[in-house]
Structure 1
Amino acid sequence: MKKIISLMVVALAMILFIAGCSKITEDYVKGYDTDPLSPTTAPSPKIFVGAQAAFIEFYEGFPSKLAAVWAQQATGADRQFASFDIYNITANDFSNDWFLAYTRVLTNLKITQAKAKDEGFMNLYGAARVLEGIHMGNVAALWGDVPYSEAAQPEKTLTPKYDNQIDVYNAAIAALDEGIQVLQQNTADLPQDIYSTGGKVAKWIKAAYSAKARYLMHLARKDNYPTTILDQVIQAGLNGITSTTRTGTAPAAGYGADDFVFTHGTVQGGNMNLWYSFIVVDRSGYLRALKCFATKMLGSRGASEAGRFNYYFTADSNDLNTTRAYATNAYFPVIRASETLLLIAEAYARKGDLANAVNYLNQARTYVNNIFGTTLSTNLTPADFGNDQTQVLQAILNEMYLALMHQVEVFNFLRRIDYRVNYVDGDGNIVWLTPKRGTQFPQRLFYPQSEVSTNPNTPKQTSDDLYSKTRVNGGTK
């Protein structure tokens, strides 16, 4: 962290040079590169765009690809990714993502917030708080105990302490709550916004509530899903992203009217979809499908899932579809309405309210039909599951697995439910997700070697820690 935070004064300048993010911001919002070498004098809207671009690079970059491989929604087929596919990974593989998470996302969000207050952009301050909450909840989910309370504060320390993962979750939720409160009082459109929200404050508020529902469900796992937290999940979810109405045009299948997504253009090294860039331009052959578990699950459902199958995968199940889900300008989801609806459904199912659980499962299936052109039944009743709580819950979890296709959150979700997803094959056998190697699934990312070497507060780790659960999932660190 010492090396990372010491780079704060050039955080925005780095956006102009690393992984094409300068082109991302240039193509999305002209003029971002005004005075790039003096970020503290740049106006807060420009800094916010930089933070957003870095968040795209983190969330749509390596963590999402690794999550897809470990969730068996894609297959590591060549070079490093063939090793990642069977869980061979080291601390050195995460240095860039840690740098992104702290120096380029969190630091720029903190600068945005301070300057937005000074400049009177309280709506921008609120949105930055929301994005910080979404981001740090995800960072905590991926790594466990992480710096937060002392992070991105080089004037105080270059070796910040590591906070308990549960405390980071609660702080992230507090950031979301503050962002919601501020945005409810400052409803004018944001001065700049490169996401699908188009700067609409109402959409940022919905995204905040959905993220809150997501992280509350993470926390619920720790205490075996107490009713008090499940009720909070439902309340947050109902205020979140729930629209099943489609918007958007080809080559993307479209997305829900309130979905929180990254929009993309067609400029290579710029605003292009980062998965297309990786699969087609940068590392062709590294990431494929090769009849992975997700293709088999979708295939087991027959013609009703043809639309979603064809959106994500090629007809032979061997590759990801680079003309639809991963076309050059295809959007990339952060929070879909289907996830929020399924969180509500899961909360009701765990409470034993099967009528409401199946109702929200049906709404999630309506979303899938509208977005992907599937023909899933949307008039299911508890009787279709034998009025059995376990069967209703399993149907919801299986649907969530598909709803989070190729997102970072699918890794967080699977660890929360101990990877318990399944499908029924053509012979009527229940097929469960199983590890690619050995008997254990990955449970966390490694702290990068750059952090281990420079911050003495970094928790001790060994190669076995890859399989060590984080606190929220029943672990000890």
Structure 2
Amino acid sequence: MRNVTSLLIALGIVVGFIGCESFTKGYDTNPLAPSDAPAEKVFAGAEAAFIEFTEGYPSMLASIWAQQIHGAERQFSGYNSYTVSSQDFANDWFLAYTRVLANLRLTQQKAAASGANNLVGVAKILEGIHMGTVAALWGDVPYSEAARPDVTTTPKYDNQLDVYTAVQNVLSDGITTLSSNKRPLAQDAFSYAGNPDLWIKAAHSAKARYFMHVARHNGYDAATLNQVISEAQQGITALSGGEDLMFKHPTGTYQGDMNLWYSFLVFDRSGYIDAVGNFAFPMMKALPRDGKTDESGRMKYYFTSDGKDLNTSDGAYTETSPYPVIRASETHLLMAEAYARLGDVSNALAHLNMARQYNNNVFKNHSQDFTATDFPTANALLQAILNEEYLSLMHQIEAFNFLRRVNYNVAYTDSLGNTVRLTPTNGTQFPQRFLYSSDEINSNPHTPVQRAEDLFNPTRVNQ
């Protein structure tokens, strides 16, 4: 981590978020004038930075590499053919550690000192959700010594598997702490509006997500898959979408609380990304050939009618459209996949159908439930689940995480009966990770040696 980053952490600086000024108004962001903001203000800054990280550039790059959107111009055209450098990740590494993790740790310290265990618990849960994503994207990363300037300004890199274990622990701690004081938060930028029961559900869904992240490394063993199921059963499951963890963009004000994708597509970098040649739209268009699937609502929500651009008029990417962190459909599909890999066809099918019912309710699809006779083999059912996971994680970082875990194994049947699979947009290999930041490489001697070809080398959990 950059030494200047550690200095800011040591001074207790709360760094604001230009895209969410309404959440962070009143922050002191002058690095020469330390802030002594209360825990609630620090948490607001952490949430705002988390939104910038999760909904911003990393989600767009992940979506390009998941072939759910298309990099069209300037550097984004290069991203489409897997041309990136360590400099491209400097801002997001800074965001991940200095503005998200550091502020969440500071929130926990301040809230604990005032006896606000409800805020401590939510901050721990958000830390777990965030650092699970960081580990998924970069592999080995600083965590045990990160955001601890009293210990070191050049934190060591922890094994990715150890980070996932630590993430599970902090999520469990967050659940326990929040359960001890279920008072609603006074301020919360997310859709939960400080509701402790919903935050606990989000934590369980996150635990299910991250147990599935390591399941491949564990050979999809029964112990890991049953952990996925156990946590998911306690997670976000409402088929109405009412429990989904979402970012709110209520006024759609530019450089205020505007949806970040709309801001990028319309104001900031118009033309840099579109949906030309994406894989998701023709996949949704082809699925109704099974006689039971209708994707008309979800197609309209995300894309224009020709599938060549994103819907910025009345769908996912208007000024005020919410952006997902965890949907109930993901939780049900994690259970569906786990049950399928355990050989439990009945429960796998039930949760696949629940995800489809969610799509009917939230996106106005008109799909019918599948029955066991719709799938001649267990592999056919598993493939249907994987295909739905890919679509249900539309335009999220998690879609990229999912694809790497399953070797980009999603496919559909075209009008001629041919199987169409994801293939690399350039060369013969898919991207497997984000690169370490150039600033981190230059300032932290513990940063692993990085070569250009490492972009295509799987992280530990996917080896």
TM-score range, shorter chain: over 0.9
Corresponding pairs, count: 454
State which of 373, 381, 384 in structure 2 corresponds to 1:383. 373
* Aligned equivalent of 1:350: 341
Deviation at residue 35 of structure 1 after TM alignment: 5.1
* Aligned equivalent of 1:297: 283
Deviation at residue 27 of structure 1 after TM alignment: 2.1
- 1:113-128 counterparts in 2 under 5 A? 113-128=108-123
Find the aligned partners of 2:252 and 2:23 in 1 and give their Cα distance: 11
Deviation at residue 270 of structure 1 after TM alignment: 1.1
Does the alignment pair 1:203 with 2:189?
A: no
Say if 1:355 and 1:381, in contact at 8 Å, map to a contact too: no
Find the aligned partners of 1:155 and 1:40 in 2 and give their Cα distance: 18
Say if 2:10 and 2:149, in contact at 8 Å, map to a contact too: no
* Aligned equivalent of 1:251: none
Say if 2:15 and 2:27, in contact at 8 Å, map to a contact too: no
* Aligned equivalent of 2:362: 371
Deviation at residue 317 of structure 1 after TM alignment: 1.2
Does the alignment pair 1:192 with 2:178?
A: no
* Aligned equivalent of 1:341: 332
Provide Cα deviations, 1:211-256, integer angstroms capped at 9, x if missing partner.
00000001111021000010110000000000001xxxxxxxxxx1
* Aligned equivalent of 1:33: 26
State which of 57, 62, 67 in structure 1 corresponds to 2:52. 57
Find the aligned partners of 1:230 and 1:329 in 2 and give their Cα distance: 37
Find the aligned partners of 2:177 and 2:15 in 1 and give their Cα distance: 30
Does the alignment pair 1:259 with 2:247?
A: no
Provide Cα deviations, 1:118-149, integer angstroms capped at 9, x if missing partner.
11110000000000000000000000000000
Deviation at residue 28 of structure 1 after TM alignment: 3.9
Q: Which range is displaced more, 300-309 or 93-102? A: 300-309
Provide Cα deviations, 1:248-280, integer angstroms capped at 9, x if missing partner.
xxxxxxxx1000010003110110000000011
* Aligned equivalent of 1:252: none
Does the alignment pair 1:100 with 2:95?
A: yes
Q: Which residue identity does 1:257 align to in structure 2? A: G
SS at match of 1:171: helix
Q: Which range is displaced more, 293-302 or 431-440? A: 293-302
SS at match of 2:295: helix
Say if 2:12 and 2:36, in contact at 8 Å, map to a contact too: no
Does the alignment pair 1:359 with 2:350?
A: yes
Does the alignment pair 1:268 with 2:249?
A: no
Does the alignment pair 1:469 with 2:454?
A: no
State which of 70, 82, 92 in structure 1 corresponds to 2:77. 82
* Aligned equivalent of 1:443: 432
Deviation at residue 301 of structure 1 after TM alignment: 2.3
Say if 2:70 and 2:276, in contact at 8 Å, map to a contact too: yes
SS at match of 2:15: helix
Q: Which range is displaced more, 322-331 or 33-42? A: 33-42
Deviation at residue 304 of structure 1 after TM alignment: 1.2
Find the aligned partners of 2:114 and 2:12 in 1 and give their Cα distance: 20
- 1:203-352 counterparts in 2 under 5 A? 203-245=198-240, 256-264=241-249, 265-302=251-288, 304-323=294-313, 324-352=315-343
Deviation at residue 10 of structure 1 after TM alignment: 6.1
Find the aligned partners of 1:27 and 1:101 in 2 and give their Cα distance: 21
Q: Which range is displaced more, 448-457 or 184-193? A: 184-193
Change (3 A) 1:163 1:143: same
Deviation at residue 14 of structure 1 after TM alignment: 3.2
Supply the RMSD in Å over aligned alpha carbons.
1.3
Change (3 A) 1:455 1:371: same
Deviation at residue 40 of structure 1 after TM alignment: 4.9
Find the aligned partners of 1:460 and 1:121 in 2 and give their Cα distance: 42
SS at match of 1:73: coil
Find the aligned partners of 1:73 and 1:271 in 2 and give their Cα distance: 25
Deviation at residue 444 of structure 1 after TM alignment: 0.4
Q: Which residue identity does 1:322 align to in structure 2? A: T
Change (3 A) 1:86 1:34: closer
Say if 2:14 and 2:42, in contact at 8 Å, map to a contact too: no
Superposition TM-score, scaled by structure 2 size: 0.96
Find the aligned partners of 2:12 and 2:264 in 1 and give their Cα distance: 24
Does the alignment pair 1:5 with 2:6?
A: yes
Moved over 6 A (4+): none
Find the aligned partners of 1:257 and 1:307 in 2 and give their Cα distance: 18
Does the alignment pair 1:454 with 2:443?
A: yes
The unaligned stretches of length 5 or more in structure 2 are: none
Find the aligned partners of 1:36 and 1:125 in 2 and give their Cα distance: 23
* Aligned equivalent of 1:67: 62
The unaligned stretches of length 5 or more in structure 1 are: 246-255
Find the aligned partners of 1:146 and 1:99 in 2 and give their Cα distance: 13
Find the aligned partners of 1:313 and 1:449 in 2 and give their Cα distance: 35
Say if 1:277 and 1:328, in contact at 8 Å, map to a contact too: yes
SS at match of 2:400: helix
Change (3 A) 1:430 1:267: same
Say if 1:127 and 1:204, in contact at 8 Å, map to a contact too: yes
Superposition TM-score, scaled by structure 1 size: 0.93
Say if 1:77 and 1:286, in contact at 8 Å, map to a contact too: yes
Find the aligned partners of 1:59 and 1:39 in 2 and give their Cα distance: 27
Provide Cα deviations, 1:326-354, integer angstroms capped at 9, x if missing partner.
00010000000000000000000000000
Q: Which residue identity does 1:298 align to in structure 2? A: M
Say if 1:244 and 1:366, in contact at 8 Å, map to a contact too: yes
Deviation at residue 291 of structure 1 after TM alignment: 3.2
Q: Which residue identity does 1:259 align to in structure 2? A: D
* Aligned equivalent of 1:148: 143
Deviation at residue 299 of structure 1 after TM alignment: 1.2
Q: Which residue identity does 1:442 align to in structure 2? A: P
Q: Which residue identity does 1:370 align to in structure 2? A: N
Find the aligned partners of 1:5 and 1:411 in 2 and give their Cα distance: 30
* Aligned equivalent of 1:253: none
Change (3 A) 1:34 1:450: closer
